[in-house]
Amino acid sequence: MDLTRRQFDLLETLAEAKGRLTQREISERTGHSLGGVNRTMQELKAQGLVDGRTVTKAGLDALEPYRVRRAVFIAAGFGSRLAPITLNTPKPLVRVHGVRIIDTLIDACLAAGIGEIWIVRGYLAEQFDQLLYKYPMIRFLENPFFNEANNISSALVARHLLKNAYVFEADLLLSNPAVIKKYHYSSEFLAIKKDRTDDWCFDVKDGIITEEKVGGLDCWQMVGISYWNAEDGEKLSADIPDVYASPGGRERYWEQVPLVFRKDRYAVGVCPCFDEDIVEIDTFRELKAIDKSYNV
């Protein structure tokens, strides 16, 4: 059964909350009007997808095509701006308040029921083996090109795993695991609404990313977490090697494939989050500001 966006939003919200919501709370969480929520709840009840505020087995079955199947972590880079700490430790394995950065992301995936986890590694690759003590389900992919190409080379290695999949930059410190969802309706990037930013950001029209750029006004600041549905994941498996093989392709960032160089083939949305949900620690100075134990 294909769900409308509103039907999906209500079912996903009710499934996550296990039914303990009023219609007004559903409206606040989904952004749909109270009238729209009321009409859609009636549709879902008529189709047997909800019983009161509880998602039925039929409702869970209707959500199944939208379930995230796996997570792919891009973790092969040097993390040179975090030197000297990264001279001996890959950036995703750096500890903040005693917890490895990547653990915050993996734990959120497991909490969302995403048990198939792949890590693309390169720099100091063997150090990632330590993760297996806590996460024996992890599987690794080796990126032999990490020291001669940009992160598109990691996406190239993982290109056949991107259907119904999250793709994570593995150096993001996650404070709010709830931003990682069990279900997604369509392909989208996590992003933070900004009046102004000097960082990588998106222009968005009618909910769809129209341009990726550095710096802008009234835009969405990019977070290095994205989800790709089955159709787009299949297209990425062909488009990534095509762009990689093009002139200058090895210097590209992987997300430029669907957002810049082949953007006519994709309609990628944004999934809103907030500054307090997640932080990318770019420099050793920023690390010391967050974790005072590094001030030695």
Query: Residue-wise pLDDT tens for the chain (296 aa)?
Result: 689 999 999 999 999 887 678 889 999 988 899 999 999 999 999 999 999 889 999 999 999 999 999 999 999 998 888 888 889 999 999 999 999 999 999 999 999 999 999 999 999 999 999 999 999 999 999 999 999 999 999 999 999 999 999 999 999 999 999 999 999 999 999 999 999 999 999 999 999 999 999 999 999 999 999 999 999 999 999 999 999 999 999 999 999 999 999 999 999 999 999 999 998 888 889 999 999 998 87
- The per-residue pLDDT for range 52-110, each reduced to its tens digit, is 889 999 999 999 999 999 999 999 998 888 888 889 999 999 999 999 999 999 999 99
Q: Where are the domains of the chain?
A: 5-65, 68-294
Alpha-carbon distances, residue 107 vs 87, 135, 138, 180, 248 (angstroms): 26, 9, 12, 10, 36
Among 103, 3, 18, smallest CA distance to 62 is for 3
- Please give the distance of CA 163 from its chain centroid, rounded to a whole number: 13
Torsion over CA: 29, 66, 275, 290 (sign): positive
CA pair distance 183, 60, nearest whole angstrom: 11
Give the per-residue pLDDT at 19: 66
Q: For the chain, first and last CA: distance in Å?
A: 58
Number of H helices, E strands in the chain: 9, 13
- Give the phi and the psi of residue 159 in degrees, each rounded to 5: -60, -25
Concatenated DSSP letters of 101-167: HHHHHHHHHHHTT--EEEEEE-TTGGGGGGGGGT-TT-EEEE-TTTTTS-THHHHHHTGGG-TTEEE
**Which has the closest alpha carbon to 161: 36, 296, 71?**
71
Same fold, 5-65 and 68-294: no
Length of the chain: 296
What are residue 183's phi and psi, to 5 degrees? -130, 145
Cα–Cα distance list, 238 to 118, 264, 268 (Å): 20, 14, 17
Q: Residue 148: what pLDDT?
A: 92
Name the CATH topology of 68-294. Answer: Spore Coat Polysaccharide Biosynthesis Protein SpsA; Chain A (3.90.550)
Q: What is the chain's alpha carbon radius of gyration, rounded to the nearest angstrom?
A: 20
pTM: predicted TM-score of the whole model, two decimal places = 0.94
Q: What's the CA gap between 241 and 149, in Å, rounded?
A: 13
Which residue type is seen at 148?
E
Up-side HSE of residue 243: CA atoms within 13 Å toward CB? 27
**Class level of CATH domain 5-65:** mainly alpha
| Neighbouring-strand partners of residue 154 | none
Distance of alpha carbon 137 from alpha carbon 116, whole angstroms: 7
3 state DSSP class of 88: coil
